[in-house]
Amino acid sequence: MERLFEKEIMEKDALNRIKWDPKLKPEEFSIHYLDLGKLKEINFSEIELQGDFFRLKENLIPMHRIRRIAWKGRVVWDRRVV
């Protein structure tokens, strides 16, 4: 599963795959993103995708702030220099 997101270079592509791939369980994924200079972790099931943003409660957060995505605690996607 660690190589799950080799083709998904952008965080948006990885998140859409989690949402739409019937073989994946979204509740098993966590998102790590920067918020005021600190890395925060949330479960994928807590967010709603909206274009180039994700909604967390009332806040819209730009996807470029995502630093890594983990599956059951193991990093499966991280920000790469493209």
pLDDT tens profile 6-43 = 777 789 999 999 999 999 999 999 999 999 999 999 99
If pLDDT is split at 50, 70 and 90, which confidence band does 1 have? Answer: very low
Question: CA-to-CA distance for 65 and 4, rounded, in angstroms?
Answer: 21
If pLDDT is split at 50, 70 and 90, which confidence band does 80 have? Answer: low
Mean pLDDT, range 47-74, rounded to an integer: 94
Question: CA-to-CA distance for 74 and 82, rounded, in angstroms?
Answer: 22
Cβ neighbours of 30 (radius 10 Å): 18
Closest CA to 41 of 69, 19, 17: 69
Reduce the DSSP state of residue 27 to 3 states and report it.
Answer: helix
pTM of the predicted protein model: 0.85
Q: Are 32 and 39 in contact (CB under 8 A)?
A: yes
Cβ neighbours of 80 (radius 10 Å): 8
Mean pLDDT, range 56-69, rounded to an integer: 93
Higher-scoring residue by pLDDT: 80, 34: 34
